[in-house]
Each structure stands twice: as structure tokens, then as C-alpha cells.
Chain A
Amino acid sequence: MIPIKTIAFGLVAITAACGQIGDDKSVDRGVNAHHLSTMVAGIWVDPNGCDHWIIDDGVEGYADARLTPDGRPVCSGVAPPNTVIGPFQQGSPIPDTL
């Protein structure tokens, strides 16, 4: 049986990790803390056939357009529309169960 104190401490710890983020949003706090610049991306191909970087960073997910030097979408044909390739879930050890 888990002592109540331990559970209480755990709850406090979780609250502390999730409750106060502050102004600096550059770090993923809590379990598996890391600076956001270290995230690893895959590519998601949108229904138009154009590439987006996609990152599954545990609780958070990120996606953003892949762009040419003059800001147009890169539509490389690296994968069919509506598919994802690459190591986009390697950034976090938190299992993605959904």
C-alpha cells in the first residue's frame, strides 16, 4: 500500500511541474524536461502534398510549414498526402498511446 504522504507529495510535485510556467516558454518542464531547441521532427504531408515539420513532444505536439528560401511551401513528394514519415515521436520517451 502506498503511504498517503507519498501520494500527497506526488500530487504536489505534479502541480508544481504543471501549474507555474512563467514567462519563459522555451523549456518543456516536468517529466523529461528539455530545452525546446532539441526536439526531433518528422514530416507530415498535407492533403495538398506539401511538407510540414511535425513533432510529438510528449504532452505537446508541434507542426510548422517547411518553406523554400522565398517562403513558399515545399511540396517534395517525400510521402503521399495525409501521411507522416520520420522520427517525429523520438523526441520524448512518454509513450503516445492514442
Chain B
Amino acid sequence: MNDQAQLLPGTLDLLILRAVSLGPLHGYGILLRIGQISGNALLIEQGALYPGLFRLVRQGLLKARWGTSENNRRAKFYELTAAGRRRLREETDSWNRLAAAIASALSQQPEET
């Protein structure tokens, strides 16, 4: 438990977009996919996923439809819209820039500054 990192505010949306970009998924599937692609390193409260999903649908970044899951249960499947795909690209770029900048700042040795 303790080796899992807390999510930074705002990053859940990015993770959801990324998870869904690989193909339509239902909520629980998104959770599993995030765990899978992050190597289970992130701590996400299960229920917290849903307000994020609803928000993304409302912003027009995701679209949802009801279907049947692999377990043969009714579930709501999410997939990216064109706007969502664009947003994912932008957010990924800006996240990478930020991460690189912070990593670079933190890796500087004191005498070099």
C-alpha cells in the first residue's frame, strides 16, 4: 500500500483519457487498465473514478454507451471523442514538458546552480 503514489490533482483525467485511448472500456475496466499501464504504482480510490468520468463526458471529451461486458453484465462503455483525442495529445505534451523540467530541476547538483 505504502509504495503507491498519491495522484496529483488533475492527473486522474489525463490517466482516464490515456486508458480509454487504447479502446472502449467500462469504468471498472478503466481502473484495471490504469493499474496495468502504471504498473500498479498509483493509488486511486475506486469510487473517485466516476465523478471524473461524468465530468469528461460533460466536457465532450468522452462519449458513453451501455453495452454488455466480458462478464456478461450490463456496463457503460466509454470511448474518446475527437476532442478527447486532441485533449489527450495536448495534455500529454504539456505533462511531459512539466515532468522533464521538474526532473531536470531536481537532478541539478547544488554546486552547479
A binds B: no
- Interface residue ranges, A against B (CB under 8 Å): none
